[in-house]
Amino acid sequence: MTSHDISRRTAVTAVAAGATAALLPGAAQAATGTAGHRAAASAAFAADTRTAPAFLHGVASGDPLPDGILLWTRVTPGPEAVPGSGLGPAVEVAWQVAEDAGFTRVVARGTVTASAASDHTVKADVRGLRPATAYWFRFTAAADGATVTSPTARTRTAPAHDAAVDGLRLGVVSCANWESGYFAAYRHLAARADLDAVLHLGDYIYEYGTGQYPTPKYVVRKHEPAHEILTLADYRTRHGHYRTDPDLQAVHHAHPIVAIWDDHEFANDAWSGGAENHTPGTEGDWAARVAAAKQAYFEWMPVRPSIEGTTYRRLRFGRLADLHLLDLRSFRSQQVKPGSGKVDDPERTITGRAQLDWLKEGLAASDTTWRLVGNPVMISPVAFGSLPSYLLEPLAQLLGLPKEGLAANTDQWDGYTDDRRELLAHLTDRAIRNTVFLTGDIHMAWANDVPVKAATYPLSASAATEFVVTSVTSDNLDDLLHVPAHTVSLPAAAAIKASNRHVKWLDMDSHGYGVLDVTAERAQMDYYVLSDKRDAKAGASWARSYRTASGTQRVERVDAPVR
């Protein structure tokens, strides 16, 4: 266990989100564009004719440990105290954890203060719980003689460190753009009672202003604030707006969440010194914007920060699997243009030296059957140059690349080949087996082998496998072309597979989620698709399943999902 691992302790502790915020620059700022939040808060208080605090943004849990869980909520002390406002008095919030939904067997309790300094969010890092056990939790707050109770939610601890675990089942999601549709994928995951946790691979929020992505004609529902978010108040407001979604609240109420960030928690195609969607001359200092985004993220997400406010960390699920979670935005070099020889420059990095060494050490030291890697952007090499010409422009738009044609997506590991070469060589040289990358970002679903040398695959070795989940709502190829799904994309998928023989399956049009089921014998990803992301009541159906058998480093199709 390194210093970045989440340690096991037996104490029961509670901390305010402001403790993390205090480590980052940027104080609470006056909100802009919070009229909708304030109206909603006023309506909620008026409807109940109450003066006591309200829990308008639900509750959540995350980062399960064998002996603990991180709990989260946000309390609104009055109609003026909307997210990002910096207004409202401090409120003492009590929390309880019980073995039953009726709270007749309470096993842990405590109090923590919610204040404007942490945007009235609170976290309770609860320890002393039993491994692999379901618990229920809730919060209460009182004012003017009245007590208000939050929604009750369910969570689950991880198995004991050395436990022999029969199976692990994770919901897997990424890329939820509010303006592009509804979060029905979260609703369907919330309805499942068979998940140990939900893994969110990034782009939990989007930074754009209204009508920037997608264009105004195709906006399903409007962001708040309406402008692109830049300040601490802006990021807080956007997080708060997302947390009003009933399906998003539902998935947090049903399962613990394990989350990492990607670029849109900051700005599109972010790197350590800037972003494609950041103009220093008109949008301020990049470091200040990142600090504001990170502070709001750790306030609003049930995530334990690793060193220096990053999200790379490690969780373990008995002897079956460990989960290595990456931060591929905080330390990376700037992206280069497609076709540039600079993608092979050993001085360029996507992980940063310290994180890459941490990952290599963790993979080598792992004594579990499976090594899962929460990976924000695709590690499998992919060449797009053989696509039909009429598809190059919309695909380049989807990937944020020049429209005159593209050979590779340099925002992915394809733009940082030396880091990838070093990592894959480490896996093969050390004979590290059963490494599975779990990836989001690209708004498509993929099942890939990860070849050591793509040009000679399948004659050469595969070092790992990769399952990529599509977006919850964010636009993909048919959305950009405004055509029915699975029409013009079919030749594009066929061309990509023909040029990239390690790509076993590719769905360029669907929206939905994945369910990863892991046993000692295999790791299987079941892909589910939504009937219509623009329909709040959209159904979900199984689309495909792929698995990798223990010891093979290859994916194969399966005829049915795990039941």
Cβ burial, residue 301 (10 Å; 0-12/13-18/19+) = buried
Q: What is the pLDDT along the chain (563 residues), one digit of tens a residue?
A: 333 333 322 233 344 444 344 333 333 333 444 566 666 665 665 555 455 799 999 999 999 999 999 999 999 999 999 999 999 999 999 999 999 999 999 999 999 999 999 999 999 999 999 999 999 999 999 877 789 999 999 999 999 999 999 999 999 999 999 999 999 999 999 999 999 999 999 999 999 999 999 999 999 999 999 999 999 999 999 999 999 999 999 999 999 999 999 999 999 999 999 999 999 989 999 999 999 999 999 999 999 877 778 999 999 999 999 999 999 999 999 999 876 778 999 999 999 999 999 999 999 999 999 999 999 999 999 987 666 666 777 777 776 655 545 567 899 999 999 999 999 999 999 999 999 999 999 999 999 999 999 989 999 899 999 999 999 999 998 898 888 888 888 888 888 898 899 999 999 999 999 999 999 999 999 999 999 999 999 999 999 999 999 999 999 999 999 98
Is residue 236 within 8 Å of 297, Cβ to Cβ?
A: no
Domains in the chain: ranges and CATH? 15-156 (2.60.40.380), 169-558 (3.60.21.70)
Is residue 231 within 8 Å of 29, Cβ to Cβ?
A: yes
Say which residue the tokens 């089921």 belong to.
517
Is residue 276 within 8 Å of 269, Cβ to Cβ?
A: yes
Is residue 394 within 8 Å of 384, Cβ to Cβ?
A: no
Q: Distance between CA atoms of 336 and 269, rounded to whole angstroms?
A: 11
Backbone torsions φ then ψ of 354, nearest 5 degrees: -65, -40
Q: What is the pLDDT of residue 513?
A: 98
> Using CA atoms in the order 268, 273, 278, 281, what is the torsion angle rounded to 10 degrees?
-170
Task: Reduce the secondary structure of 508-543 to three states and give it as a string.
Answer: CCCCEEEEEEECCCEEEEEEEEECCCCCCCCCEEEE
Q: Distance between CA atoms of 272 and 213, rounded to whole angstroms?
A: 23
Task: State the DSSP code for 54.
Answer: B
Alpha helical stretches, state H, 380-508: 389-399, 417-429, 477-481, 489-499
Q: What is the pLDDT of residue 491?
A: 83
Q: What is the pLDDT of residue 49?
A: 42
Q: What is the pLDDT of residue 383?
A: 83
Q: What is the pLDDT of residue 145?
A: 78
Q: Nearest Cα to 437, choosing from 463, 465, 414, 412?
A: 465
Q: Is it true that the peptide bond before 225 is cis, omega within 30 degrees of 0? A: yes
Q: What is the pLDDT of residue 481?
A: 86
Q: Copy the structure tokens of residue 213.
A: 């992505």
